[in-house]
Structure 1
Amino acid sequence: MVIPASDVAARLAELYEQPFAGKPRGRFRISQKYLRQMAGVRRLYSDDISALTRALYELGYVFIDLDSFYVILSQKAFTSYRRVNEGVLAE
């Protein structure tokens, strides 16, 4: 049974908040195999990944495709990153 992207995104967001692998919560990676299993499909297509990316973004998470696995991060993790400005580019 195919699971909607919004439901898969909600489950991934729940995993972000759960303790596992020695951490109380936070970023994690998931293999294609387990993501396919969560989605109830044998193959993930680019439109499936796009839908999941949008659904997770709406929940406050970033979904990154790294070919053999996917990473889920909180959008808040990026707010403290250094910003590039004109001075840096001019150097």
Structure 2
Amino acid sequence: MKLNDLEAAAVRLAEMYGQEFGGKPSGRYRIPRKLLAELMGRRRLYEEDVRDLSRAVLEQGYVLIDMETFFVVMSANSFVNYRRVAREMVG
């Protein structure tokens, strides 16, 4: 995939985060694998495509989560207030 196409798909995913649909004014959403492939101009998505798109989406301030049959797009800021695991919890 050309870098321009990849960046364009990442920008579009970021734009959709701020759009009203699904009964909500904005926020996290899910997109089917097939529709994401179409957005990227592909017939199917390969591991490299998803990895590269994930990086491009992160550069836009969002996280792309692969749930196998669909993808979730969330704001990277959503994760800032999550609880942190202390070393004592791991050991």
Q: TM-score, normalised by structure 2?
A: 0.90
Gaps of 5+ in 2: none
Query: Secondary structure of the residue that 1:81 maps to in structure 2?
Result: coil
**1:28-63: CA deviations, max 9, x gaps?**
000011101111110111111111000000110001
The residue aligned with 1:17 is: 18
User: Would the alpha carbon gap of residues 85 and 44 (structure 1) be closer, same or farther in structure 2, given more than 3 Å must change?
Assistant: same
Query: Secondary structure of the residue that 2:71 maps to in structure 1?
Result: strand
Question: How many corresponding residue pairs?
Answer: 89
Question: Amino acid of the residue matched to residue 76 of structure 2?
Answer: Q
The residue aligned with 2:27 is: 26
Gaps of 5+ in 1: none
Question: Amino acid of the residue matched to residue 8 of structure 1?
Answer: A
The residue aligned with 1:86 is: 87
- Taking the aligned partners of 2:20 and 2:43, their CA distance within structure 1 comes to 28
Q: TM-score, normalised by structure 1?
A: 0.90
The residue aligned with 1:64 is: 65
- % identical equivalent positions: 45
For the pair shown, which has the larger CA radius of gyration, 1 or 2?
Answer: 1
Contact 2:63 2:73 in 1 (8 A): yes
- Taking the aligned partners of 1:43 and 1:22, their CA distance within structure 2 comes to 29
